[in-house]
Structure 1
């Protein structure tokens, strides 16, 4: 059984920012032109994997790119943060992720004399509009008063991450950003999508950006990703999006219809699977008493073939061991 994905907001952002051109546009709006000219943003290469620990993957998602700065090897690390509350220890967490990037680099390049530069960026994007309030510098997390801090300054760790706090920005400000259509719409959908009963009308404000997305080289796929996100997090249905698809044309209408059908089928399949799990647990409990936690967990993660096999065995088995043999 596959692992549960990260929450839909971060998953959507990761899908978009895993495309180098979209990630590069997000980097460009957060650094000055002189630094941007020194980084090979057009030559960014996505590095597979995640540096976020398992317990935090429902809260954040991340992407890592390999590139060069002034011809020297370097990395760009982007973390997407969609919580309504700022993570007070984010500077500490980001330092840990950067250290782990260096560790991977050392595994791949034994015995180096220097470490590559890592540019860390946190994108804070949430529909709540609450600003980021946590420190972006690690030294600000060290518990010292001002009198003590000054003489100890040289011994404090100097680490800071870039912060793109888009949470308080309105749609007009997001539209004014020089981003790719996919990156721009991702941030806008984070703003207007979740739980919005007026999404069908609000989304018409960005119809030009949506048309630009559709007309791109991977437009249908990117539009499908966007619509999937809206159906998952928004209070919206096919009829709500009809004015939009009427403006965008038959390609958009087909994507909306097929996406809705796919998500409905997925929901029905999930419901059937959950029903089989509940029925098997009831059968086992009625015959053998309350299930040990290990066996209950085994049932929860079983596939359809295993559930069918165990349900048949319950009828003749004299013990739980026989059922799960």
Structure 2
């Protein structure tokens, strides 16, 4: 990601390199990331935003920030860093994000799935795994839209994008056409279909408790809409890093919830993923359906002998765990359909 104190300037300078000029561009869409307080303030000084989008405040980077309140305060630096008269785009489903409204005296647009907001989705239907149909509502009107990406979190992100477009006075029908062409980035929820008759959701780029559970729910819902009923749902979850002192407890809670969602197999990889598996066991998941692996290589080798026709498999984990190696192993052994 080019979202850091080094990466962001490199992104901006791409508009002034290789013979390019900023006058050739209408809009720059830049990601600003943080893991410590003060980082977003610095990034906003480098590239002061006209529009700032806050997607959510989640229990990530707790190792460095300590509490969810500190995470919210650090993320709010983005709103404080807006240009005068700039627009804040806020997730109405997250009360900590919505509270940032008071930090900005300029225009605010909200988006949400569960809470009344300026930009919303209704009549939401999962057509199949990787395709959601819904009615998009904006202050400029409404339109029927489709999103070819899995999960309610991606739908929420799509509403954030629609809110940005709305702030630029783009019509709902135009937004809907653009959303139909959206695709998942590599390792970020991409649905892979193999010739052996099994399907893998590759969400191996990163993980946190909220994101993991959201994807597990997506896989369970997607499995129920498949034309041919799945034989098994398999969750392969790598350790979730940077969760601080509560890491073991957060892993255990996630494992317990995964068991309640009734997946068929749960495999944990590395470190505190052992607590994830233990949480599932305590919640009543049979010992024969859960397993812990010390390394991603061991998990990948085991999956090659385990996978069979009809399986629906989610692979997810923090970047440092490299659960993408599981995907690599599957692609080396099995042809894509």
Structure (1/2) with the larger helix percentage: 1
Query: Which TM-score tier does this pair reach, normalised by the shorter chain?
Result: 0.3 to 0.5
Structure (1/2) with the larger strand percentage: 2
If the length of structure 1 is used for normalisation, what is the TM-score? 0.33
